[in-house]
Structure 1
Amino acid sequence: MFKYAAMVGALLLVLGVGSAQAFFSFFSGGYQYISAEELNKRLQAGDEMVLLDICPADEFAEGHIPGSIETNAFPTQTAEERKRLSKGLAAMQAGDEDIIIICPGGGGGARRTVDYYVDQGIAKDRIYILEDGLRKWPYETVPKS
């Protein structure tokens, strides 16, 4: 009897976690976010990932996360801005690393960037948006050299 109760409890726990993830995914529009703290941990651990910065040129020059690819595509509303997202696209399509979208505030420009890459054949589950964007990044940035 105890084994049966434990199995039912484990099943409910798994279903509960899955339901919570589905609930969050529904309200985030299906976009995945990564917190500044989690991204910093991954950077410190040396995890392989693509950091794609869409901030305007002046903001990128003031400071950006080391190793990020400069696109200056923000706000990614026009065809010209979206064209800037092609930088590194072939490598992203061929690779399997997570892609972290860094924008000023982590909002519409980042979501449009995710949509662009999904349209280019990149799996949506590989793409994360930096929560609250670079303006709320509490860690070190480097100026453009």
Structure 2
Amino acid sequence: MKKMFLFLVMMTLAVPAYAGGYNYVSADKVKTWIENGSPMNIVDIQEPEEFKAHHLPGAKATYSYPVKSDSDRAKLDHAVAECKENHDPVVIVCPRGKGGAERCYNYLKENGVAEDRLLILEKGQLGWPHKEMVKTE
């Protein structure tokens, strides 16, 4: 009985950690990829004003933040199609790298983009430390 209780406790603790797992990538890693010209899909979900003020080189603006409504998700359909045309990593950029990025990640995954390609930029665009690389419009 004691072993069964311990097993159930361990399973209860293990499941939430796995269920909420997302793949993240550091700003330094993305910076290196950009500098080396490594192929990648940069899916930027920032709002128009934010994207115009600061975005990564090569980022594709979707203006889908906060990715909560059907109309927000529909703005990602073009990015889904582009990501399916290649096998390159997909870096999701949102303002802070939290909820909006996770919802975008889930939507891309649900629409056939392999999860092992999906990466969320840690700390999002606002946490990007390499200001010399930031583009504006």
* TM-score above 0.5: yes
Worse overlay, 110-119 or 86-95? 86-95
- Give the match's secondary structure for 1:129: strand
Question: What is the deviation of 1:88?
Answer: 3.1
- Give the match's secondary structure for 1:37: helix
User: What pairs with 1:53-132 in structure 2 (closer than 5 Å)?
Assistant: 53-132=44-123
How much is the aligned-residue C-alpha RMSD, in angstroms?
1.7
- Give the match's secondary structure for 1:112: helix
Question: What is the deviation of 1:114?
Answer: 0.6
Question: What is the deviation of 1:121?
Answer: 0.8
Q: Which runs of 4 or more aligned residues in structure 1 lie more than 4 Å from their structure 2 counterparts after TM superposition?
A: none
Please identify the structure whose Cα radius of gyration is greater.
1
Identity of aligned residues (%): 32
- Give the match's secondary structure for 2:92: strand
Question: What is the deviation of 1:138?
Answer: 1.3
Q: What is the aligned counterpart of 1:141 among 130, 134, 137?
A: 134
Shift in alpha-carbon separation, 1:78–1:96, aligned structure 2, 3 A: same
Q: What is the aligned counterpart of 2:39 among 44, 48, 65?
A: 48
Unmatched tracts of structure 1, length 5 or more: 1-22
Using the size of structure 1 for normalisation, the TM-score is: 0.78
Shift in alpha-carbon separation, 1:47–1:64, aligned structure 2, 3 A: same
Question: What is the deviation of 1:27?
Answer: 6.0
Q: Please tell me the residue identity of whatever aligns with 1:137.
A: W
Q: Please tell me the residue identity of whatever aligns with 1:115.
A: N
Using the size of structure 2 for normalisation, the TM-score is: 0.83
Worse overlay, 27-36 or 58-67? 27-36
- Give the match's secondary structure for 1:52: strand
- State the alpha-carbon separation in 1 of the partners of residues 81 and 69 from structure 2: 21
Partner deviation per Cα, 1:37-91 (whole Å, 9 max, x = no partner):
1110111111100001000110001111111000010110011111101123222
Unmatched tracts of structure 2, length 5 or more: 1-13
- State the alpha-carbon separation in 1 of the partners of residues 31 and 18 from structure 2: 25
- State the alpha-carbon separation in 2 of the partners of residues 64 and 94 from structure 1: 23
